[in-house]
Structure 1
Amino acid sequence: MTGLALYDRTAEDAAAAVIAAYSTSFGLASRMLGPRVRPHVRNVYALVRVADEIVDGPAAAAGLDADAERGVLDDFESETLASIERGFSANLVVHAFARTARECDIREDLIRPFFASMRTDITTSSHDGASHDVYVYGSAEVVGLMCLQAFVNAGSPAPRIAEPHLVEGARRLGAAFQDVNFLRDLDHDAGELGRDYLGASTRADVLARIDADLACAAAVIPELPADCRRAVTAAHDLFAALAWRLRSESAGDTRVRVPNPVKAALAARAWMGFAPRSVRA
């Protein structure tokens, strides 16, 4: 393997390294995807993770102020869009994502809202209900839609449009993931980052919203392509388990986690083809 093929493979390996380093849960779920889809989901995750790190601490720890962070994020967005157009980037993570965007028809209408939400993290410290919804759409729902584009288009000779109910399920699953993380990270977000994503919403209200979103997503998972269902079921069930633990434990300093043996059991259950679990189970 030489030339562009080697570069493409190296870019995909770089994206896989990002997901392996930053998320055991999504790393576990991604390994359950079929080979048609797996590299594309990893490529999406790597791009959004790097963008998130620009605004969530590492850049500031390196000495960047808010204006410098904004400049780096703007450059990252510009390079992402340009690389999709030209088919190459010197940034391996961007190059990997651009390949996925070109093959799976991920367009600016999903990419720009994501970067807009990341930009909000630099400028906005407290959200109300309306700004929460806008933020979650850009930071999480569009990521679910990018993955859905990979599910329906990877390996296809021509782009296809996902069915509306699959679009709704992808958005709701992304929203549930984000709200679970908001509840898990309340202390860190407030103490370390000075952010409040949930505003006046009560813990009970947020958990009810998570339950509804997970239930909506679970209903459409059986209609996803066969090589995606087990992975999405595993991710759904991991976050349902987190929601259950958030409901069972009072808010405190410890970030709620699913123990590794439970993760393994949920993954095994999904691998055997069981339907997504109830959020209350």
Structure 2
Amino acid sequence: MTALDAGYQRAAELTKLHGTTYYWGARLLPESQRRDVFAVYALCRLADDIVDEPETVAPADTAVPPNGTPEERLAAFRATFFDALANPTGDHPPVMAAIVDSISRRGTDPECFDRFFDAMAADLTKTSWATWEELRDGYMEGSAAVIGEMMLPVLEPFTDKAMGPARALGNAFQLTNFLRDVEEDLDRGRVYLPQEDLARHGADPSLRRVTPEWRSMMAEQVARNRELYAEGERGLAMLPRRSRLCVGTALVLYSRILDRIEAADYDVFSGRIRVPDREKVALTARALTLGVPKLSFT
């Protein structure tokens, strides 16, 4: 096995360990595309973990020393990434070599990664967002919408019009995470729900319990989230069959988290709401034979 192959294998391991929905969706792609999905996910995951769980990040994956503050480590990782992108044949950790190999082959716009790292850095200093527009345009632009942009060269769409739906789907996935992970984010001192929306409903996440105010606020967020999924779903027809199956499967699985949040009466405090792995495997198998179920979010 070459060092580059080892890097792609490590990227697949990181995706399977931390992003099972992306992993099983990507299994529907040809290997040449699948490993590029894993490479994009690995970059994003490593940066996110440096911010939120630096103790879990292996120096062998990032070439960043384990000491130092999260700010210093993120800045070092950012520099390492851009150095590798400028000099892809240099001496880099295997997973980084795979990441820059993928990005270079796919012709991904390097500007995407500036926006991404800027958003990761914002997590180290900003703990709340005043309005939905501020959250969407000031944070999710670089942490979610841009992920859709990064994935497009891998998915090989038929038309440039796929950009809008791809960005919307990136936002949809992340908003679902925000709604599911309220408890976890509170533990990190962050609230990703817009303060304006919380105040309008009189909802207080710091209570960590379901109240009528919390229910009405969450119902509004879920409705907003489904609008983003509807916009993202419109892009499926713009993708080749295998890419359509991959993205459609991830879309269905992630949107089912919203169903489970509703079924739990919006209780996101008593335990992390998940779609079981068996359901992910079953839908992936079904997609290969019958296609992705048609959905309606409107």
Fold equivalence (TM over 0.5): yes
Matched, 1:131 2:134: yes
Q: Give 1:22's aligned amino acid.
A: H
Which residue of 1 is the match for residue 190 of structure 2? 195
Single out whichever of 208-217 and 44-53 deviates more from structure 2: 208-217
Which residue of 1 is the match for residue 83 of structure 2? 82
Matched, 1:27 2:44: no
Which residue of 2 is the match for residue 108 of structure 1? 110
Give aligned-pair identity as a percent. 29
**Structure 1 pair 174–127 and aligned structure 2 pair: CA distance change class (3 A):** same
Which residue of 2 is the match for residue 220 of structure 1? 235
Which residue of 1 is the match for residue 284 of structure 2? 267
Q: Deviations over 1:191-239 (max 9, x none)?
A: x211001123331222112111111111221221222111111100001
Matched, 1:53 2:54: no
For residues 57 and 8 of structure 2, the distance between their equivalents in structure 1, rounded to whole angstroms, comes to: 27
For residues 16 and 155 of structure 2, the distance between their equivalents in structure 1, rounded to whole angstroms, comes to: 21
Structure 1 contact 73–119 (Cα < 8 Å) conserved? yes
Give the C-alpha shift of residue 276 in structure 1.
4.7
Give the C-alpha shift of residue 58 in structure 1.
3.1
Unmatched segments (≥5 aa) in structure 1: 154-161
Q: Give 2:230's aligned amino acid.
A: A
Which residue of 2 is the match for residue 244 of structure 1? 259
Which residue of 2 is the match for residue 157 of structure 1? none
Give the C-alpha shift of residue 36 in structure 1.
2.6
Q: Deviations over 1:78-137 (max 9, x none)?
A: 111121111135222221110111011112210011111110111111112243112111
For residues 109 and 16 of structure 2, the distance between their equivalents in structure 1, rounded to whole angstroms, comes to: 26
Matched, 1:149 2:153: yes
For residues 41 and 124 of structure 2, the distance between their equivalents in structure 1, rounded to whole angstroms, comes to: 21
Single out whichever of 139-148 and 251-260 deviates more from structure 2: 251-260
Structure 1 contact 19–42 (Cα < 8 Å) conserved? yes
Give the C-alpha shift of residue 172 in structure 1.
0.7
Q: Residues 164-183 of structure 1: matches in 2 within 5 Å?
A: 164-183=160-179
Give the C-alpha shift of residue 266 in structure 1.
2.4
Unmatched segments (≥5 aa) in structure 2: 59-65, 198-216
Structure 1 contact 222–275 (Cα < 8 Å) conserved? no
For residues 53 and 225 of structure 1, the distance between their equivalents in structure 2, rounded to whole angstroms, comes to: 32
**Structure 1 pair 61–141 and aligned structure 2 pair: CA distance change class (3 A):** closer
SS in 1 for 2:127: coil
Give the C-alpha shift of residue 148 in structure 1.
0.7
For residues 110 and 174 of structure 1, the distance between their equivalents in structure 2, rounded to whole angstroms, comes to: 13
Give the C-alpha shift of residue 59 in structure 1.
3.8
Q: Give 1:44's aligned amino acid.
A: V
Structure 1 contact 115–138 (Cα < 8 Å) conserved? yes
Q: TM (normalized to structure 1)? A: 0.87
For residues 230 and 20 of structure 1, the distance between their equivalents in structure 2, rounded to whole angstroms, comes to: 18
**Structure 1 pair 132–230 and aligned structure 2 pair: CA distance change class (3 A):** same
Give the C-alpha shift of residue 264 in structure 1.
3.0
Among candidates 4, 7, 25, match of residue 11 of structure 1? 7
Q: TM (normalized to structure 2)? A: 0.82
Structure 1 contact 15–42 (Cα < 8 Å) conserved? yes
For residues 74 and 105 of structure 1, the distance between their equivalents in structure 2, rounded to whole angstroms, comes to: 24
Single out whichever of 37-46 and 141-150 deviates more from structure 2: 141-150
Q: Give 2:243's aligned amino acid.
A: C
SS in 1 for 2:92: coil
**Structure 1 pair 56–152 and aligned structure 2 pair: CA distance change class (3 A):** same
Q: CA RMSD in A?
A: 2.5
For residues 70 and 101 of structure 2, the distance between their equivalents in structure 1, rounded to whole angstroms, comes to: 26
Give the C-alpha shift of residue 50 in structure 1.
0.5
Q: Give 1:82's aligned amino acid.
A: D
**Structure 1 pair 13–233 and aligned structure 2 pair: CA distance change class (3 A):** same
**Structure 1 pair 99–60 and aligned structure 2 pair: CA distance change class (3 A):** closer
SS in 2 for 1:71: helix
Give the C-alpha shift of residue 165 in structure 1.
2.5
Single out whichever of 47-56 and 69-78 deviates more from structure 2: 69-78
